[in-house]
Amino acid sequence: MTMLGLMQQQDLRISQLIEHAATHHAQVEIVSHVSDTRSYRSTWGEVRHRAKRLANALTDLGVLPGQRIATLAWNTHRHLELYFAVAGMGAVSHTVNPRLFAEQISYIINHAADEYVFFDLGFAEQLVAIAGQLPTVKGFVALCERSEMPALDLPNLLCYEDLIAQASPDFEWPQLDENTASSLCYTSGTTGNPKGVLYSHRSTVLHAWAACTVDGLGLSARDSVLLAVPMFHVNAWGIPYAAAMCGAKLVLPGPGVGGERLYEHMVKEGCTFSLGVPTVWLGFFQYIESQRAQLDLTQLKLARVVVGGSAAPRAMIEKFETLLGTYVIQAWGMTETSPLATIGNLLPAQQDLPLARRFDIQARQGRAIFGIEVGIFSPEGERLPHDGQRVGEIKVRGPWVVSAYYGDRAGAALNDEGWFSTGDVALIDTDGFVQITDRTKDVIKSGGEWISSIDLENVAVGHPKVQEAAVIGVAHSKWQERPLLIVVPKAGESLTAAEMTDFMKDRVARWWLPDDVVFVDGLPHTATGKLLKTQLREQFKGHRLSTDPI
Ligand code: ADP
């Protein structure tokens, strides 16, 4: 018989995070840019104070434990207060991505059956257009002061600062079971309708802990964090919770995430750490490079940057290091994994490698952190070795990995061994570094072998005249599928198919070379900036490859 330990049985809760931050890091600043011209300086102490007022206000509005509260909001102090107030009182904070199409936003709000919607004024028009189709929503709360309240055709329109001002700051956080739901995020739905991932207090706190470990993201009280990943994108990768856990300073950029604004914040607030998708950093470097003569880059203290959501281009990793002395931590994950799953920190033997070799390693998606078990599997379900050669679908298990989508029964998204299939295809090298080569839906199946669309795209965008490129599989009578390369040339450049294949032929295996190249003015993207390949496949469904004998 086993013996039980004699340690305290304490549930993990999000309210403990804000209590800790407000007790031990009360004066640490939260700098919030509500708009391009207005900012507000708050502290962890004040976040707790106002979150408690908000929890009382929500209670007065009749919000009950388990009910969903939607936000359509940028990264601001008010959104941060909502994160802690809603989950802390036992309700569920549902961050809606305002970049989705109107039909997707109303689908998501209705699927979640949200009770209230808190919104930034910039999203008011979007909400007015769909408000009539949201039967569960009892009211709309504008994230502003009384003097800024717009006249809007929204039923039961309330003012956030009024709610805060009228409510008492005395609120006892309930002693919730750690498995209580805390927040809800929908996947961006590259295929079919968006699906909800419902996080718990336990999964959120454990995930935050992982972010604060040195071989996680190494977040600490010594960091000033510029949050350039939106709080409506997988809870800003869990950083608001992790920052409260370690007492880091937070800089919330609001709607302005252009290169110039990010640069200004970094200098002014002494930012040591930042996070964002590759597109954000492309804008950042465009600014730096165009203003190079005027800027004193030594003013930047940026030590680490997390790049994720899509592959971090090697050239970006190199620029961060050589121009700014910033180490790029590439991270891989998804809404279903909270999202941190693999993180690119170096092993001892890799620390002193020549830079070019190190960049190759950083261009991979990193290694599994404690709490996440990662495996690659063949289509037949056989587990494949981590030999840097074999390529298979990534499956994951762990306490912050989804068990079922919102509305399904627990475990419905898992196989018999408890693995969640990510839909990402990868190899894992002998050091445990994952390298994503594709998504299962996008991989090109040619004569029984797999061709990586991502590898081909990476090579194609290396051509100096190429702005963006996508590769999809197109039906072929002999090979089943062959690659079609779709290219957006840079403005003012003209490019031929022969030039493209010529450029690529020494850079990829001969049999991987695209059969055809077509040129377009632009490519379709999802709300989180990923290539929308379903639409491209639809658009080029009838494309007859020039290599097809039939
Ligand atoms: P969605 O799946 O709804 O588009 P997510 O934000 O959950 O939105 O995206 C997760 C996906 O993004 C992963 O499954 C993977 O395909 C891709 N991804 C995330 N991080 C990386 C990375 N570092 N490198 C390559 N792909 C990545």
Q: Whose CA is nearest to atom 16 of ligand 1?
A: 424
Burial class (CB in 10 A: 0-12, 13-18, 19+), 506: exposed
pLDDT tier, 530 (very low <50, low <70, confident <90, very high otherwise): confident
pLDDT digits (tens, 9 = 90+) for 358-370: 999 999 999 999 9
Is the shortest distance between the CB of 439 and ligand 1 below 6 Å? yes
Q: What's the residue count for the chain?
A: 550
Q: Which of 1-5, 134-138, 454-458 has the lowest mean pLDDT?
A: 454-458
Query: How much distance in Å is there from the Cα of 439 to the middle of ligand 1?
Result: 9
Q: How many CA within 13 A on the CB side of residue 234?
A: 26
More confident residue, 160 or 311: 160
pLDDT tier, 414 (very low <50, low <70, confident <90, very high otherwise): very high
Mean pLDDT of 370-375: 98
The pLDDT value recorded for residue 528 is 75
Task: Report the percentage of the chain scoring pLDDT > 90.
Answer: 86
The pLDDT value recorded for residue 502 is 95
Tokens coding 240: 């608001």
Mean pLDDT value across the chain = 95
Specify whether 512 is catalytic: no
What would the 3-class secondary structure string for 155-179 be? CCEEEHHHHHHHCCCCCCCCCCCCC
Mean pLDDT of 201-217: 98
* pLDDT higher than 90, residue 340: yes
Query: Which residue shows structure tokens 């931050």?
Result: 21
Query: Which residue shows structure tokens 């039980």?
Result: 4
Query: How much distance in Å is there from the Cα of 334 to the middle of ligand 1?
Result: 5
pLDDT digits (tens, 9 = 90+) for 112-151: 999 999 999 999 999 999 999 999 999 999 999 999 999 9
The pLDDT value recorded for residue 19 is 98
* Residue from 336, 393, 457, 481 carrying the catalytic annotation: 336
Q: 339 preceded by cis ω (within 30°)? A: yes
The pLDDT value recorded for residue 189 is 61
Is the shortest distance between the CB of 335 and ligand 1 below 6 Å? yes
The pLDDT value recorded for residue 326 is 98
CA distance 540 to 550: 17
The pLDDT value recorded for residue 206 is 98
**Strand, helix or coil at 128?**
helix
pLDDT digits (tens, 9 = 90+) for 493-503: 999 999 999 99
Degrees, nearest 5: CA angle 485-280-218: 115
* pLDDT higher than 70, residue 190: no
Mean pLDDT of 336-342: 98
CA distance 331 to 306: 7
Is the shortest distance between the CB of 21 and ligand 1 below 6 Å? no
C-alpha 18 chain-centroid distance = 22
Is the shortest distance between the CB of 332 and ligand 1 below 6 Å? yes
* pLDDT higher than 90, residue 46: yes
pLDDT tier, 324 (very low <50, low <70, confident <90, very high otherwise): very high
CA distance 246 to 466: 43
Specify whether 173 is catalytic: no
Specify whether 2 is catalytic: no
C-alpha 535 chain-centroid distance = 22
More confident residue, 450 or 191: 450
pLDDT digits (tens, 9 = 90+) for 262-275: 999 999 999 999 99
* pLDDT higher than 80, residue 165: yes
- Predicted TM-score (pTM) above 0.85: yes
Select from 334, 372, 457, 535 the residue to mutate for testing ligand 1; criterion: most ligand atoms less than 8 Å from CB: 334
Query: Which residue shows structure tokens 């419905």?
Result: 412
Q: Which of 417-421, 424-428, 451-455 has the lowest mean pLDDT?
A: 451-455
For the domain bounded by 444-539, which CATH number is listed? 3.30.300.30
Specify whether 187 is catalytic: yes
